Amino acid sequence: MRKLLPLACLALVAGCGGAATGQPRSAGKVRFDAAAAMHLVRVQVGYGPRPAGSRASRRLGRWLRSELPHGRFQRVPHGLRNVVGSVVGRDPRRIVVVGAHYDTKDIPGYLGAVDSASGTAVAVQLARTIRPRELGPTVVFVLFDGEESPPGPPETPADFVRRGLRGSKVAARSLREAETMVLLDLVGNRHLRLRRDPFSDKHLWSRLRDVANHLGTGHAFRDGTADATFYDDHYPFVRAGVPSIDLIDFDFPCWHAPCDNLSQVSQASLGETGRTVLGLLLTL
């Protein structure tokens, strides 16, 4: 991973490390449109349940491709497809990945407003916010298909790793040269509290918390590590040697439950997540 720039370089214009001229913006000017992200959540939920490979999921995938800059599909086994976009940086040889999954758990009537739509919404809005060559690295946005495992008997974590994470396994193989990966998963719920999971890179998580404290969002990004080992779409990237972090609220009460609907989504949480991740990207 490259050396990170000082927090004073939280800017939407070049001006740090001698790369270019310009004055860095203050923390108050690191801006992310939370209302636009909330609209993106509503659009996704409007498609109804979106299990991988379903008609609704494929329709949503086509729409997401149109929303990402340079949007395209990446084939995933069994007819699934990731949605990939990118915003070129000043040094196109450097790559940072921002990911989220857009499929929902195959539960009748399950809408996945937080566990699917919130992370995807923040990723898409970040892609809309960052302008070409404003950041050092190129940012590749990957919306994963098939994060959730197919229906079947109760599974162990090893079963989930084998049967789920289908899109991120493909993406990690094609992006193993990335220097950093940030995963957006359960990030839109009310009373957002995010802790580091054991697979998330300690130094990158510490940097994220420093950025959050600088921006005034530190209450949502907590110190300490979650007790349980958690397998998520960052895991294939970790296995590929890419320093990665997973933004997921382990205490979300409606995880894989019918109550994961729009009533659980907080525009403020979307904004805190998007602004903090944008701030982190500005330091890379």
Residue pointed to by tokens 């007819």: 79
Q: In 185-215, which positions are buried (b, 16+ CB within 10 angstroms) versus exposed (e)?
A: bbbbbeebebbbbebbbeebbebbbbbbebb
Could you give the number of structural domains in the chain? 1
Alpha-carbon span 42 to 45, nearest angstrom: 5
Mean pLDDT in order along the chain per 10 residues (284 residues): 56 41 54 98 98 98 98 98 98 96 97 98 98 97 98 91 97 98 98 96 97 97 84 98 97 96 98 98 96
Whether 26 is in a domain gets the answer no
Q: Residue 66 has what pLDDT?
A: 98
Whether 22 is in a domain gets the answer no
Residue ranges making up the domain that contains 36: 32-282
Whether 9 is in a domain gets the answer no
Whether 23 is in a domain gets the answer no
Q: Does residue 43 contact residue 63 with C-beta atoms inside 8 Å?
A: yes
Alpha-carbon span 21 to 241, nearest angstrom: 34
Any residues with CB less than 8 A from the CB of 116 and at least 6 apart, and which? 44, 50, 101, 102, 103, 104
The CATH number of whichever domain residue 237 belongs to comes to 3.40.630.10
